[in-house]
Structure 1
Amino acid sequence: MKRLNKEILTKTIRKVAVWPVLFYQYGISPLFPSSCRFTPTCSEYTKQAILKYGLLKGSKLSAKRISKCHPWGGSGYDPVP
């Protein structure tokens, strides 16, 4: 029973953690022209990373990805590992 509660809590935290990303994707991002160098976009990558790995590791992967977003940082397909 405790394991089930821990799994439910973990999934809930992950889903709540992506709310700011969803707000950005649907509320802020449409107001600006698309400029992401990567596929999936950095916000989609962040959402996928948090849902797959949790808040801490997902955020770390997201920060690493966003740090590559500059003219010399590459571009193209870069999925969540």
Structure 2
Amino acid sequence: MKIILISSIILYQKFISPLFGKKCRFYPSCSEYSILAIKKYGLWIGLWKTLLRIIKCNPLNPGGVDYP
């Protein structure tokens, strides 16, 4: 399951993300953060941390460096 999810995120990074341009407030980007979190913490905790990261990505948050 992890491999399928990570593969779909990589496909998103290569084919869909370039259409929207660079707008991420954080480093690493949310999709890269997701891959790192899933590899480090496993599927469910990695997805939870990814969801929290996406919630933080809003105009009220200045962004910055945020590793999982």
2:19 matches 1:31: yes
The residue that corresponds to 1:41 in the other structure is 29
Gaps of at least 5 residues in structure 2 are none
In 1, Cα distance between equivalents of 2:17 and 2:39: 20
Gaps of at least 5 residues in structure 1 are 1-12
Which runs of at least 4 in structure 1 moved beyond 3 Å after TM superposition?
A: none
Higher relative contact order (CA 8 A, sep 6+): 2
In 2, Cα distance between equivalents of 1:32 and 1:66: 16
| CA drift at 1:52 | 1.1
Give aligned pairs, total: 68
The residue that corresponds to 2:44 in the other structure is 56
Per-residue CA distance 1:17-59 (angstroms, 9 max, x = gap): 2112111101101112100000000000001101111110000
Q: Taking structure 2 as the reference length, what is the TM-score of the superposition?
A: 0.91
What RMSD, in angstroms, separates the aligned Cα atoms of the two structures? 1.0
Q: Percent identity between the aligned chains? A: 43
Q: Taking structure 1 as the reference length, what is the TM-score of the superposition?
A: 0.78
In 2, Cα distance between equivalents of 1:51 and 1:14: 8
Q: How does 1:7-18 map to 2 (within 5 A)?
A: 13-18=1-6
